[in-house]
A and B are shown apart, each in its own frame.
Chain A
Amino acid sequence: MIRDKYLFYLLHIIRYNGSVDTLINFGLEYSQITNYLLQAIDDGLVENKEGVLELSNLGKERFLHLDKKLNPNNSNRYLLPQDTNKITKIDKFEIYLPDKTKLGF
């Protein structure tokens, strides 16, 4: 049984950006997240379409239900903290050069 909070974020991740970092930052382990994913697939909330996970209709319904239940003020509906993009605080006089290997151009 997955706690509502984790299930909400899990479904949110599958629906929007796919990165599991949010759940890692909650203190979950990769193995636990995998178990939750397998559980969600078993429960018919998530479909594995040739290696790409997508919410089923039931999953979309559950996601909206959990969203209303957990986020009555609607604040978390579309935004999740993007810890992936956090970097060390930069001094205002520091010149920032991104890692050239990480640039997309």
Chain B
Amino acid sequence: MKRYHKKFGTLNVNTLIKLNERFAIQKWEREENDLFERFCKMLSGLSEAQQALILELTRDFLKIDLATYPMHIRSALSEIESVDFIKAKTVFVMPLLQPEDFGKSKSSTTVAYLFQDPGTKSHYSIVDKNVFIIHTPEILSRHLDQVNNKDNVLLLVDDFIGTGETATNLLNFLIDEIGVTKNKIVVLALVAQEQGINTIESFGVDVYYSVLRKKGITDSYVSPTKEQFITLMSEIENNLKVNEQFRLGYKGSESLVTLIRTPNNTFPVFWFEPKLKNKEKVTAPFPR
């Protein structure tokens, strides 16, 4: 038995104007990476109620471009209150990665690299300190005595902290396998989700960030709207056949964020482009 689907989705003039208003409020360029077209194509595959949900969530969608990374790093550095960090003479900067991902090109390696940016180096919190970027655990092992020295700290950096799972794995690895002293470690992120911050702080490690984010639906709306929105989003994800672990974003993170690369913590409707049988290719505004 075959199922037949409409060849084209439907988009209403009113929806188009509302989306244009959202773009204006967010100061997003319609032409940038074909973003407006991609957004419209995504919306055209949805029902009117689902479209209204996406337009509502788009109000709170955070889009951070690479050009603004240095500004967000400086903003996060300004938040640092850790006494060890303030007193430190040397800061070892290391990308926050899964232990098996060292050596790969990831957004956290970009953040670490930006510590060479003159604007970052001249920030008051580190201008008087030596800053060394450590790219791999092997190099860290070689400098372990210096890192654990009372005058120094290890700064783990990333652009986004979602569930805190990556940080947890890395902290366990650095503390148990490499032998880094726990109170020498400080975490810095451009954007951090509340859930991830709590996870890392439960380790006794301080987290500093430029932007704090809450769950896009659960923490932002009250009942019964919250439940209606979750139901609508689940309908969308059923149609997209989203894998269980990415429902409402990785492990239910409900993020509304895109950076150099969109985190899988963001609701999949914004990044997931499955090839579904008998359907036009699904387009997402911020594909991974």
Contact = CB atoms under 8 A, between A and B. Distances in A.
Interface of A: 13-14, 18-21, 24-25, 29-31, 33-34, 37-38, 48, 51-53, 83-88, 90, 94-99, 101-102
Interface residues of B, number: 29
Interface stretch (B4-12, B80-88, B128-136, B199-207): B4-12
A46 to B, nearest CB: 9
B231 to A, nearest CB: 13
B60 to A, nearest CB: 19
A99 B4 CA distance: 7
Contacts of A101: 235, 238-239
B14 A96 contact: no
A34 B17 contact: yes
A83 to B, nearest CB: 6
A19 B235 contact: no
Contacts of A33: 13, 16
Contacts of B2: 94
Contacts of A87: 4-7
B7 A86 contact: yes
24 contacts: A13-B13, A19-B12, A20-B11, A20-B12, A20-B13, A21-B10, A24-B8, A24-B11, A29-B37, A30-B16, A30-B36, A51-B17, A52-B14, A83-B7, A84-B6, A87-B6, A88-B5, A88-B278, A94-B2, A95-B1, A97-B1, A99-B4, A101-B235, A101-B238
B3 interface: yes
A53 B40 contact: no
A103 to B, nearest CB: 11
